[in-house]
Amino acid sequence: MTEPVLETRDLCKSFGALTASDAISLTLNEGEIHALIGPNGAGKSTLIRQIAGELTPDRGSILFLGQDVTRLGVVARARMGLGRTFQISALAMDFTVLQNVVLGALGARGEVFRFWRPVLKDKALRATALEALERVGLVEQAAMRTAEISHGQRRQLEVAVALTLRPRAFLMDEPMAGLGAGGSRRLTGFLDGLRAQAPILLVEHDMDAVFALADRISVLDYGRLIATGTVEHIRAHPEVRRAYLGDEALP
Amino acid sequence: MQRETVLNAVIALALLAVPLWAWGADQPYVITLATKVAILALAGVGLNLVLGLGGLVSLGHAAFFGIGGYAMGILASHAQSYTPILTAPFVIEGSKSMPVIWLVAMMAGALAAFVIGLLSLRTTGAYFIMVTLAFGQMFYYFAISWPAYGGEDGLSIYVRNGFAGLNTLDPIQFFAISYGLLGLGLLLSSRLAHAPFGMALSGARQNSARVQSVGIDVFRVRLVAFTLSGAITGLAGALYGDLNRFVSPTMLSWQTSGEIMVFVILGGVGRLFGPVVGAALFILLEQVLGGLSEYWHIYLGALLLLVVLFARGGLIGILAGREVAHD
C-alpha cells in the first residue's frame, strides 16, 4: 500500500481541562474523500486547525507527503500544497472576485515581493485565476466586489482560491455551510470530481453530501475518534448511532 | 478616466500652481507653506502605506520622521564645523549634500522601522498601537537627553544643504525639490498598491488568515511595508529639517505621530492623494484658524471627528466617492 498523503499520529490538544483532541490518528489517501463528522464541539475544527498549522498540538505528529510538518506554520504547509477552505468564508471582501483568486495564484507562485508591475496585468496569474473561476462557475462574477456576491458564491470562491494553489490535499471545513439545496447539490457534484485531482479531508454537517461523497468517514466525539470506516460501516456502527446520528432511521 | 484620477491631477496641479503664483507675486511665505505641505504629505505617504494599504495603525511614525531629521542635522552640523562624525575605526565625515543626506535619512528610517517592526508586528490592534507609541517615545526621550546634538534645545544648521545645480535657499527651488520627491513617493505608492506586494499587503489587512493560507507570509510582507514606510517618512523628516534649518526632539514626539495620522485620516485613509489633501487642509487650518485663536486645535478636533464619523474616505472620499475595485 502506498503511504498516505496526510496523516495524524496520536494528536492531542487540550484547552485547560477540555480535551479537544484525544490521541487522534487518521489518514488521508490519494484519490479519496475522507469525511470527518461529529456533533458540535466534538473537536472537528480544532483538528482541522492543527492540520492546517494554526494550532500546535500538545503531543503527536502530523505528516504531509511523508514529511513531518508538526512544527511548520500555516504558510509553510500551504506552500507544500495544503489547500484549505474555511468554515466562515475568509476572503478579502474589498477585492473583486478575480483579485481573490489572483491572490491565491500569486501565493502559489510565490513572487510576492514585486513592487512595480501591476499584478492584474500578469497574464499567467490571470489565466490560472480565470481557470479556477471557470471550474467553480464564477467567471461571470469575476469583476464584482466580493462583499457584493451571495453567500453561496463566496463558498464557491473559497474553493476556487484553494484550486489556484494546485494543492496536493484539500482541507475543507464545512464547504456546504449555509448553501441551499441546489447549491449543495452542485458543490457535491464538483467535489466528487475533485478527488481525482487531490484527496479531500472534508468536515461537513450536511449528511446527504457526506454519504454521497465520502469514501471513508471518521466520527469524532468529545475529542476522541470513535470510528473510521466506509459509509456502510459507519451507518451500522452502534456507538456512532448513539453519539451522533441518533437512533432514528438513517437516510 | 476615473473620477479619483482626475481629482488627483487637479490636486497635484493646485499644489504646483499656488507656489508658482506666490513666486510671481513675491510671497515667499506662501511658497514656504506649500513646501511644508509637500514635505508633510510625503511623511503621510509613508504612513499611508502601512495604515491605509496594510491597516496597521502605527502611532510611532514620529520616530522615523525625527530620525530622518536628526540624520540631516547630524550630518550637516558636522560638515559645518568640519569635525568628522567618527574617527575610529574609520573616518565618517559630515555632509552638506542633499542626496547623501536623503540616502542616510532613508536608511536610518528604514533601519529603525525594521527593528521596531520586527518587535511590534507580532502584535495587532491596540497592542500594536501601544508598542509603536512606546518605541516612538523612547527615541523622543533619547533625543532630549543627548547633549551632543542639542538635547532639548535641538540642533540648528546655518545654511540649507546643497543640491547640485540648484540654489536651495531660494524658496521656489527648494519647493521644486520637495514637490519632486513627493511626486516620486506618490508614484512609488501608486505602483506598489497594484503590484503583487500591494495585493498581499492589502489582502492581509482584509483577511490575514486568507493570505497565510495561500502560502504568503503576512509577517514578512508587513515588515517590508513597515521598513519602506519608515524610509519614506525618514526622507520627509530630512526635508523638514532642511526647510526649517532646525531639528528638535519635537519632531520625535508622539504629537507628531498623531499629526501625520491626522493628515492621512483627513485626506482619506488608503487613498493615494489622501495625505496630500490632509496635509494641505491641516496647514490651511493652522494658518486661518490659528490667526483667529490660539486654541485652533479644537476646531481641528471637531473636523476630525466629523470625518471619522461621517466620511470614512476622508476628503478624497467625499469628492471622489468610494474607492472602486481596480481591474
In which residue are the cell numbers 481591474 written? B327
The SS3 call for residue B246 is: strand
B122: left (phi over 0), alpha (psi -120 to 50) or beta: alpha
Q: Does the beta carbon of B184 lie under 8 angstroms from any beta carbon of chain A?
A: no
* A89 in any annotated domain: no
Q: Does the pLDDT of residue A45 top 60, yes or no?
A: yes
Lowest mean pLDDT among A32-41, B95-104, B180-189, B267-276: A32-41
Burial of A106 (0-12, 13-18, 19+ CB in 10 A): buried
* A140 in any annotated domain: no
Per-residue model confidence as pLDDT tens digits over A85-104: 998 889 999 999 999 999 99
* A121 in any annotated domain: no
With beta carbons less than 8 A apart as the criterion, state whether A142 and B239 touch.
no
Cα angle: B61, vertex B38, B67; to 5 degrees: 30
In which residue are the cell numbers 517618512 written? B233
With beta carbons less than 8 A apart as the criterion, state whether A30 and A2 touch.
yes
* A1 in any annotated domain: no
Structure-block grid coordinates of residue A35: 469525511
Tell me what pLDDT residue A239 has. 82
With beta carbons less than 8 A apart as the criterion, state whether A142 and A133 touch.
yes
List of chain A residues whose C-beta atoms are within 8 Å of the C-beta of residue B211: 92, 103, 107
CATH value at residue A225: 3.40.50.300
Tell me what pLDDT residue B324 has. 62
SS (H, E, C) B154-198: CEECCCCCEECCECCCCHHHHHHHHHHHHHHHHHHHHHHHHCHHH
B54-83 CB burial, b ≥16 within 10 A, e <16: bbbbbbbbbbbbbbbbbbbbbbbbbbeeee
Tell me which DSSP letter residue A72 carries.
Answer: -
Lowest mean pLDDT among A244-248, B9-13, B318-322: A244-248
Cα distances (angstroms) measured from residue B126 to each of A222, B92, B122, B123, B223: 35, 41, 12, 9, 18
* A95 in any annotated domain: no
Q: Does the pLDDT of residue B1 top 80, yes or no?
A: no
* A74 in any annotated domain: yes
* A149 in any annotated domain: no
How many contacts (CB atoms, under 8 Å) link A and B? Answer: 113
With beta carbons less than 8 A apart as the criterion, state whether B105 and B72 touch.
yes
How much is the pTM?
A: 0.94
Tell me what pLDDT residue A87 has. 87
Q: Which residues contact B251 (CB under 8 A, 6 or more apart)?
A: B62, B65, B66, B69, B70, B237, B240, B241
With beta carbons less than 8 A apart as the criterion, state whether B56 and B128 touch.
yes
List of chain A residues whose C-beta atoms are within 8 Å of the C-beta of residue B214: 78, 103-104, 106-108, 161, 164-165
One-letter amino acid at B114 equals F
The domain spans of chain B are 3-320
In which residue are the cell numbers 472537528 written? A44
Q: Which residues contact B39 (CB under 8 A, 6 or more apart)?
A: B178, B182, B236, B239, B240, B243
With beta carbons less than 8 A apart as the criterion, state whether A239 and A228 touch.
no
The CA distance from B300 to B306, in Å, is 10
Say which CATH architecture domain B3-320 belongs to: Orthogonal Bundle (1.10)
Query: Closest Cα partner for A38 from A250, A239, A249, A248?
Result: A239
Lowest mean pLDDT among A196-205, B24-33, B55-64, B83-92: B83-92
Tell me what pLDDT residue A251 has. 47
With beta carbons less than 8 A apart as the criterion, state whether A82 and A167 touch.
yes
* A12 in any annotated domain: yes
**Total tally of structural domains belonging to chain A:** 1
Give the closest-approach CA distance of B291 to chain A in angstroms: 42
Report helix angle A181-194 to A151-164, nearest 10.
10
List of chain B residues whose C-beta atoms are within 8 Å of the C-beta of residue A165: 214-215
Tell me what pLDDT residue A217 has. 95
List of chain B residues whose C-beta atoms are within 8 Å of the C-beta of residue A106: 196, 199-200, 214, 216
Q: Which residues contact B158 (CB under 8 A, 6 or more apart)?
A: B80, B245
ipTM: 0.92
Which of the residue ranges A2-6, A29-33, A174-178, A179-183 has the most confident prediction, judged by mean pLDDT?
Answer: A29-33
Structure-block grid coordinates of residue B141: 526621550
> What is the domain range of residue A33?
6-81+167-245
- The strand pair at A169-173 and A200-203 is best described as parallel
Tell me what pLDDT residue A244 has. 66
Confidence category of residue B72, pLDDT binned at 50, 70, 90: very high
Closest chain A residue to the Cα of B215, Cα to Cα: A75
Tell me what pLDDT residue A245 has. 60
Tell me what pLDDT residue A53 has. 96
Per-residue model confidence as pLDDT tens digits over B142-154: 999 999 999 999 9
Q: What average pLDDT does the structure give for chain A?
A: 92
Q: Does the beta carbon of B223 lie under 8 angstroms from any beta carbon of chain A?
A: no
Tell me what pLDDT residue A40 has. 85
